Structure 1
Amino acid sequence: MPKVVVLPGDGIGREIVPQAMRVVQAVIKDSPVKLEFEEHLVGGAAIDAVGKALPDETLKACLEADAVLLGAIGGPKWDTLPTAQRPEVAALLPLRKHLELYANIRPVRMLPALVHASTLKQEVIENVDMVVIRELTGGLYFGEKGRKDNPRSAYDVMVYNEDEINRIVRFGFETARKRSKKLCSVDKANVIETSRFWREVTLEVAKDYPDVELTHMYVDNAAMQLVRYPKQFDVIVTENMFGDILTDLASMLGGSIGMLASASLNGQKGLYEPAHGSAPDIAGKNLANPLATILSGALMLRYTFSLEQEAQAIEQAVEKVLNDGFRTGDLAQPGDKVLGTVEMGDKVLEALGSR
């Protein structure tokens, strides 16, 4: 039986993951594909329990599983630890590396019901529908880093090899080919040598995709264009740090970062998580928006288990709940029906049942 490892993690992760689990289990109830779910510790919760952010047992389970559903990692309680021991560094980055999750996919779609939830003007964001693909196992986050004395300094080294660029860019072209056949590669080739190399490799790969229109854009301009005229984009592909920044910016094109789901893939296995953090300021208060995690569950059904009908059912249920005027606090406008985390999960389940 296919196995899903469930990692609630820290902060609001322990509240939003159960809601996603309820929805996923409900939608596959009558499916011929049966899934086994197994929960494990990760992040700060694992540090508190066993002294290690990514316990060996958790890593082993993830390596053996078909998919991983993750909540959130980190919080101020562990911010004073040495960098290498902090939950985000000691758990999330190694997990991506060990699972070889090189491609992060973040769909960004403005649902009509949420057009007023964004801080951006309606005419700018309505009908936005794009995918941002971020390279996940190379670049600055994984390069050599350290400190020096006399004078005091710190350094982080950005390195990309040809194979790393080739596979993520090819993933971008394949994704674009299934959509509107438009791919924008984001780099900083006017300043950074790795970006110049990135562009060179991208142009070589493009020869295999003559049917896809390729454009290039510097990352600073891309950030500006995402808030100026986001509808120009369909598929964006970029390196690790640029993608980290641009996907958070793009979350506002969907109304709230609480709506942004993500999938991290290696071609066989996937790790699925909301794009937001652990939000310790609202943890334990039944205030968190579970929809990004629920939608991450839909991505899991689509990409790892090929359950397209079930994935669409979840997405349609979320859209129905929003169309009916129900919101969590991060999305609420005057007159909206504001729900807590559990109550929003209830409404999505109701919408699934009314199909």
Structure 2
Amino acid sequence: MTHRSLLILPGDGIGPEVMREVRRIVDWMGEKRGLVFDVEEDLVGGCAYDAHGAAISDATMARALEVDAVMLGAVGGPKWDGVPYDVRPEAGLLRLRKDMELFANLRPAKCFDALADFSSLKRELVEGLDILIVRELTGGVYFGEPKTITDLGDGQKRAIDTQVYDTFEIERIAAVAFELARVRANRVCSMEKRNVMKSGVLWNEVVTATHKARFADVELSHMLADAGGMQLVRAPKQFDVIVTDNLFGDMLSDVAAMLTGSLGMLPSASLGAPDPKTGRRRAMYEPVHGSAPDIAGKTLANPIACILSFAMALRYSFEAGAEADRLEAAVERVLTDGVRTPDIMGDSGGTPADTRQMGDAILAALDASM
């Protein structure tokens, strides 16, 4: 029996609904596969603000730093639109990323064959699509200083955001991308804007040097980020792993998200650096979708993105790649069988399912895999 620690933060909106289905998968892994988790649940986002006056409490943050992995649902909603900026629900997510030093954001974009017709692109362009965007998460223009709005007088203002990257930040995110490519199709495309941005020049230089020094066995290509966005919607299957900075990663991963057919299908992982003594990485896993307050409490939410985020946790935090494969295969089996939450029902029909029923179907597929 293997025990691992897991902190679950369901959050707001549909977060608790989709996370309930993850909790059932967690329990199944313990009962049927001997992979037992010590699970705690706590608050983050608007619900934490209601309880503590902050989007995440110091005690919850301290626990997040101790556990093997954090599972987060979603944060935010119109209920908290008027709260002060520094305690808005999203501040809890940002503090988790910052305090846990989660610099590597992994966003897979995989198109299940059963959902290829739901993509915004033609089936032949996305059928079999399986790409991974590795986004630098703690640097760049979102965190660079100065970051100001200055009143210039005469009704004029000036806003400044600063794009900043140091060599070590680029080296470590490039290393993550190359390492992941080695267990995939062994190809990395680095995207930046070296033609107009000095940070892009440095990014290109450092990625190239890191490749030459440590990862020459991996195929490396470079592409300007705007061209990369165009190529993602022209011929997305040309890519395997894409590595890019915080701003471009934010945009390009959302473009890639729409190739798969539904935001309800997309997981993500955010990883820190390996501990020098234990090798353990701090890690947080979350679905890409938001809190969807318009359907919260109606059991309409698709739990698959959250369930697939747990599959990523099995793979990257719990050394359980075989169980991650089993869970992903169960999801694919259910989709092939035509089980559909409203977001992936479409015109072709299928077996309608609410949040709980989708969880039931995935658990049944897991049982059948034994």
Instruction: Report matched runs for 1:199-218 at 5 Å.
Output: 199-207=204-212, 208-218=214-224
Instruction: Among all aligned residue pairs of Structure 1 and Structure 2, give the percentage whose two residues are the same amino acid.
Output: 51
Residues 1:2 and 2:29 are matched in the alignment: no
What residue in structure 2 maps to residue 97 of structure 1? 98
What residue in structure 2 maps to residue 16 of structure 1? 18
TM-score with structure 1 setting the length: 0.96
Residues 1:306 and 2:319 are matched in the alignment: yes
Opposite residue 117 of structure 1, the aligned amino acid is: F
Instruction: Report matched runs for 1:55-94 at 5 Å.
Output: 55-88=57-90, 90-94=91-95
Looking at structure 2, the residues matched to 82 and 227 of structure 1 have their Cα atoms a distance apart, in angstroms, of 39
What residue in structure 2 maps to residue 277 of structure 1? 290
TM-score with structure 2 setting the length: 0.92
The answer to whether the 8 A contact 2:44-2:92 is kept is yes
Looking at structure 1, the residues matched to 270 and 86 of structure 2 have their Cα atoms a distance apart, in angstroms, of 22
Moved over 4 A (4+): none
Q: Give the drift of 1:91.
A: 1.1
Looking at structure 2, the residues matched to 67 and 2 of structure 1 have their Cα atoms a distance apart, in angstroms, of 9
Aligned partner of residue 152 in structure 1, secondary structure:
strand
What residue in structure 1 maps to residue 278 of structure 2? none
Residues 1:247 and 2:253 are matched in the alignment: yes
Selected match of 2:238 from 232, 236, 241: 232
Residues 1:170 and 2:175 are matched in the alignment: yes
Looking at structure 1, the residues matched to 225 and 326 of structure 2 have their Cα atoms a distance apart, in angstroms, of 35
The answer to whether the 8 A contact 1:24-1:298 is kept is no
Looking at structure 1, the residues matched to 34 and 303 of structure 2 have their Cα atoms a distance apart, in angstroms, of 26
1:215/1:274 Cα in 2 relative to 1: closer, same or farther (>3 Å)?
A: same
Residues 1:338 and 2:352 are matched in the alignment: yes
Looking at structure 1, the residues matched to 185 and 359 of structure 2 have their Cα atoms a distance apart, in angstroms, of 33
What residue in structure 1 maps to residue 198 of structure 2? 193
Q: Give the drift of 1:148.
A: 1.2
The answer to whether the 8 A contact 1:117-1:332 is kept is no
Q: Give the drift of 1:2.
A: 2.5
Count of paired positions: 354
1:276-332 CA distance string (max 9 Å, x none): 111111111111110000011111111111112211111111111101001111111
Aligned partner of residue 140 in structure 1, secondary structure:
helix
Unaligned runs of 5+ in 2: 275-280
The answer to whether the 8 A contact 1:261-1:295 is kept is yes
Looking at structure 2, the residues matched to 143 and 83 of structure 1 have their Cα atoms a distance apart, in angstroms, of 19
What residue in structure 2 maps to residue 108 of structure 1? 109
1:40-74 CA distance string (max 9 Å, x none): 11011111111000111110110111100000111
Residues 1:52 and 2:66 are matched in the alignment: no
Residues 1:348 and 2:362 are matched in the alignment: yes
Aligned partner of residue 236 in structure 1, secondary structure:
strand
Q: Give the drift of 1:76.
A: 2.1
The answer to whether the 8 A contact 2:49-2:87 is kept is no
Q: In angstroms, what is the RMSD of aligned CA positions? A: 1.3
Opposite residue 3 of structure 1, the aligned amino acid is: S
1:28/1:308 Cα in 2 relative to 1: closer, same or farther (>3 Å)?
A: farther
Opposite residue 180 of structure 2, the aligned amino acid is: T
The answer to whether the 8 A contact 1:27-1:314 is kept is no
What residue in structure 2 maps to residue 156 of structure 1? 161
The answer to whether the 8 A contact 1:260-1:276 is kept is yes
Opposite residue 92 of structure 1, the aligned amino acid is: L
Opposite residue 165 of structure 2, the aligned amino acid is: Y
The answer to whether the 8 A contact 1:28-1:310 is kept is no
Aligned partner of residue 194 in structure 2, secondary structure:
coil
